[in-house]
Amino acid sequence: MTPNADQISPAGKAPAMNEINQRFVDHFAQLVTERVELLAEGPDRQRIVALAKRALREARATLSEERQVVLDQLPVSRLKASDVIEQGWVNLSQASLYRAAESGRFYCTTPKGRSIGKEFPLWQFVEPVPEMIAPVLSQLADQPSSEIHAFWVCAADELNDLSPAEVMAGKPFETRGTLHASQQALLDLPAATRVRRVQVVASHHNKGMTDIVG
């Protein structure tokens, strides 16, 4: 089943550092700091301790850096910016995430029946989508957010009844059943080829919207 613009279901959280691993890192950092403070001697003691603490902070920060969200299927859920960040889908502040949407790096929608409040479709944060989506979003920039989302998640005849989101990612939505061989072949194409296919569909979509408005 292909998701439509209003379909929402629970999504698994993005990969994050296991809590046990985090506690291990914190404990290790504490032990190292204590040993350095005990062993460092002489006039350079304060500098050595400061350098050790700095190295540990940098190591912890590296472990906490943005992780690529790599899934076999695309989630169909949408979350508020705060939940997107809390669950680790992006390593951005809430303000930065909104700015990214305004600049066409990602997109957000307004929940049905509401005039305020933004939600981010999670599929766009799954690799390799974040590196590929911006050119197509620029083609859709003049359309309402509801139309942009509908474009991404609705099946397209030109894409063997796959959605542009699935072709962009090279992965099916989690709600889709068995893929036909021709659909899998399309998902297996090189990333650049898939993007071009989606851009063609976006061009047709824009023309269709222009005809409707006209």
Query: Which residues form the domain of 34?
Result: 19-63
Q: Is residue 9 part of a domain?
A: no
Please name every residue paired with 69 in a beta bridge, in sequence order, or none if there are none.
126
Q: Is residue 138 part of a domain?
A: yes
136 plus 40 within the same structural domain: no
Q: Is residue 33 part of a domain?
A: yes
Length of the chain in terms of residues written? 214
> Contact at 8 Å (CB) between 174 and 2?
no
54 plus 100 within the same structural domain: no
Judge if pTM exceeds 0.75. Answer: no
43 plus 93 within the same structural domain: no
57 plus 104 within the same structural domain: no
Total count of domains within the chain: 2
Q: Is residue 12 part of a domain?
A: no
192 plus 167 within the same structural domain: yes
Distance, CA of 141 to CA of 109 (rounded, Å): 13
- Give the helix/strand (H/E) hosting 79: strand 78-79
> Contact at 8 Å (CB) between 76 and 7?
yes
* pLDDT reported for residue 114: 65
Distance, CA of 128 to CA of 111 (rounded, Å): 26
157 plus 191 within the same structural domain: yes
Residue where a domain stops, chosen among 29, 63, 97: 63
- What share of the chain has pLDDT > 70, as a percent? 71
* pLDDT reported for residue 3: 54
92 plus 164 within the same structural domain: yes
Work out the average pLDDT over 63-85: 80
* Pairwise pLDDT comparison (33 vs 88), residue with the higher score: 88
Burial of 169 (0-12, 13-18, 19+ CB in 10 A): buried
Least confident of 39-43, 125-129, 176-180, 182-186: 39-43
Distance, CA of 146 to CA of 108 (rounded, Å): 9
